[in-house]
Amino acid sequence: MTTYTTTVDSPVGPLLLTSDGTALTRLLFDADPDPGWSTEPCELLDRATTQLGEYFRGERTGFDLPLEPAGTPFQRVVWEALRGIPYAETINYGQLATRVGNPRASRAVGLANGRNPISIVVPCHRVIGANGSLTGYGGGLDRKRTLLDLERRTTGATDPQLSLL
Q: Which of 118, 124, 128, 147 is catalytic?
A: 124
Contacts of 73 (CB under 8 A, 6+ apart): none
pTM given for the model: 0.91
Contact call for residues 5 and 18 (beta carbons, < 8 A): yes
One-character DSSP codes across 6-45: EEE--TTS-EEEEE-SSSEEEEEES----TTSB-S--HHH
pLDDT of 36-54, one tens digit each?
Answer: 999 999 999 999 999 999 9
- In this structure, is residue 64 part of a structural domain? no
Confidence of residue 163 (pLDDT cuts 50, 70, 90): very low
3-class DSSP state for residue 51? helix
Structural domain range at position 38: 4-56
Asked whether residue 47 falls in the same domain as residue 106, the answer is no
- In this structure, is residue 92 part of a structural domain? yes
Is 124 part of the annotated catalytic residue set? yes
Asked whether residue 133 falls in the same domain as residue 91, the answer is yes
Asked whether residue 82 falls in the same domain as residue 108, the answer is yes
Cα(63)–Cα(96) distance, integer angstroms: 20
**Structural domain count, the chain:** 2
